Amino acid sequence: MRYISVLTIAGSDSCGGAGIQADLKTMSALGIYAATAITSVTVQNTTGVQAVQAIRPDIVAGQIKAVMDDIAPKVIKVGMVNNAEIIRAIADTLSPYPHATLVIDPVMVSTSGALLMQPHAVEAFCQCLLPLCTLLTPNIPEAEVLSHTSIRSIDDTERAARHILQLGCRAVLIKGGHLEGQAKTDVLYQADTPPLSFSHPTVTTRNTHGTGCTLSSAIASFIARGSSLPEAIQQAKCYLSSAIEAGKDVSIGRGNGPVNHLFNPEKLIIQ
């Protein structure tokens, strides 16, 4: 018997709402045994990010290899990667595991507006990590950076997605959370299939810290549980919407609070 495991490679959020902490809460709530490789330590709270300290690339690589050689998760989630050296270390370390499913959330800017990926790292990100990627989950500003495209319409979104797919990832989910409206719609693009849309009603709240981390971690968790990619996205959207709804009126901190990851936790799944 074994727990279903997922490795998350991401930064640490000292206020607990995003990054590794959000990943751990999300995966645990969905019955997944979560292993971690920490890429950076951030000094932050709900009002913003004050500082970022990257972990040495060889230590990041060592964490990944230790987990992969022992626990051997079949699904990996990558979140915040601060610089080109860490990106190359992650790509080099994951290369011997080509059959792993890799969900990447390109964390470039925090909810409060702080820059989390150094500008020179974007090229390394595209060249080294995207060719290994099963699913990329950018929001609209991130998709604009990666595609060098201004997104103002559905046609713009599709054009950006097609450009990103040419960089080597197998699928891209462009998230519509930054757009105003009564529903939040994410669109999945793959090379040889029509786009698929996933919508949930908009929840009015300021507690949106870590929503991108939470969604990508939930997608990785449902894939590990055996769902297809579209099924995993739909299930993850439902989980995130419920977590936002459950925490929408809760006050913690003076800024953008977290979602309620543990609104209905499951027991660890044993196979």
Entry field: residues in the chain: 271
Nearest Cα to Cα of residue 204 among 253, 240, 247, 248? 248
Choose the catalytic residue: 212, 214, 247, 257. 212
Choose the catalytic residue: 111, 134, 213, 247. 213
Quick one: pLDDT at residue 108?
A: 80
DSSP code of residue 74: S
Helical (H) or strand (E) element with 95: none
Measured distance CA(49)–CA(45) in Å, rounded? 7
Quick one: pLDDT at residue 177?
A: 59
Q: How far is CA 246 from CA 177, 201, 213, 261, in A?
A: 18, 14, 17, 9
Q: What is the pLDDT of residues 194-233, one digit of tens each?
A: 999 998 888 999 999 999 999 999 999 999 999 999 999 9
Average pLDDT across each block of 10 residues of the chain; the chain has 271 residues. List them in order. 97 96 98 98 93 96 98 97 95 94 88 69 94 96 91 88 96 78 85 92 92 97 98 97 96 94 97 90
Q: In what order do the strands lie in the sheet with 5-13?
A: 48-54, 33-45, 5-13, 75-78, 101-104, 135-136, 171-174, 183-190, 193-201
Helical (H) or strand (E) element with 110: none
Helix axes 211-224, 19-29, angle to 10 degrees: 40
Judge whether 255 counts as a catalytic residue.
Answer: no
Amino acid at 213: C
DSSP codes joined into one string, 139-205: BHHHHHHHHT----SHHHHHHHHHHHHTTT-SEEEEB-TTS-SSEEEEEEEETTEEEEEEEEEPP--
Quick one: pLDDT at residue 68?
A: 98
Measured distance CA(246)–CA(117) in Å, rounded? 30
Choose the catalytic residue: 175, 184, 185, 247. 175
Judge whether 176 counts as a catalytic residue.
Answer: no
Choose the catalytic residue: 210, 214, 247, 257. 210
Residue 86 has a CB neighbour count (10 Å cut-off) of 26
Helix axes 84-94, 57-70, angle to 10 degrees: 20
Choose the catalytic residue: 134, 137, 157, 208. 208
Q: Is residue 102 classed as helix, strand or coil in its secondary structure?
A: strand
Domains of the chain, CATH where assigned: 5-247 (3.40.1190.20)
Q: What is the pLDDT of residues 156-168, one digit of tens each?
A: 999 999 999 999 9
CA angle 153, 131, 57 (to 5 degrees): 110
Judge whether 208 counts as a catalytic residue.
Answer: yes
Choose the catalytic residue: 39, 42, 93, 211. 211
Judge whether 210 counts as a catalytic residue.
Answer: yes
